[in-house]
Structure formats: structure tokens, C-alpha cells
């Protein structure tokens, strides 16, 4: 199957869906696009730019493990 992204005016949605419903599910599958797609893409583009220009903060797995241990211990102390 191929994927095609359509942008359309809301007023033609019903007509468009009526036309598309004439195809079988083997021929056409309609998927709703993620409503947060544009916002997620923007955030990822910013993160990628930071990696590419060298301003991203990075850590090793050992450093991450230590940070996570500290975070978990803070929450454990709050619960007790």
C-alpha cells in the first residue's frame, strides 16, 4: 500500500469520506493523523538542531543511571 497525506477544508470532509467509503478495506485504509504531529515535529527539530550544533546536553549510561537513582530515592523519601 501507499500512503498519501491530504489537507482539505473542513466543509468537504463529509463528501470526501463518502467518496472514500466506496472503496473496500482491502483497497483503502483511513487513519487519523496524530493531532500532536506538528508540535512533536517542532520539538524534535529543535532537539536535532542542538545535537547538530553541539549544544545538546548528553550523558553516559552510567551518569543516567546515577541520575535516575537520585530521582527515585527522592520519590521514595516523599512516600515514606
Number of domains in the chain: 1
pTM of the predicted structure, to 2 decimals: 0.46
pLDDT band, residue 80 (cuts 50/70/90): low
- Domain extent, residue 34, equals 10-79
Q: How far is CA 55 from the centre of its chain?
A: 23
Q: Is residue 3 part of a domain?
A: no
Looking at per-residue pLDDT, the higher value among 55 and 75 belongs to 55
Residue among 42, 20, 39, 22 at smallest CA distance from 31: 20
Q: Quick check: is 4 in a domain? A: no
Helix (H) or strand (E) holding 75: helix 61-79
**Please, are residues 30 and 20 in contact by the beta-carbon 8 Å criterion?**
yes
Residue 7's pLDDT is: 87
Helix (H, G, I), strand (E, B) or coil at 53: helix
Higher-confidence residue of 38 and 53: namely: 53
Amino acid at each position: 500500500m501507499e500512503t498519501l497525506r491530504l489537507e482539505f477544508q473542513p466543509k468537504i470532509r463529509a463528501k470526501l469520506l463518502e467518496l472514500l467509503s466506496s472503496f473496500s478495506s482491502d483497497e483503502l485504509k483511513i487513519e487519523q493523523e496524530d493531532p500532536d504531529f506538528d508540535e512533536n515535529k517542532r520539538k524534535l527539530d529543535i532537539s536535532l538542531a542542538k545535537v547538530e550544533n553541539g549544544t545538546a546536553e548528553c550523558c553516559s549510561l552510567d551518569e543516567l543511571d546515577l541520575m535516575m537513582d537520585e530521582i527515585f530515592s527522592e520519590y521514595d523519601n516523599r512516600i515514606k
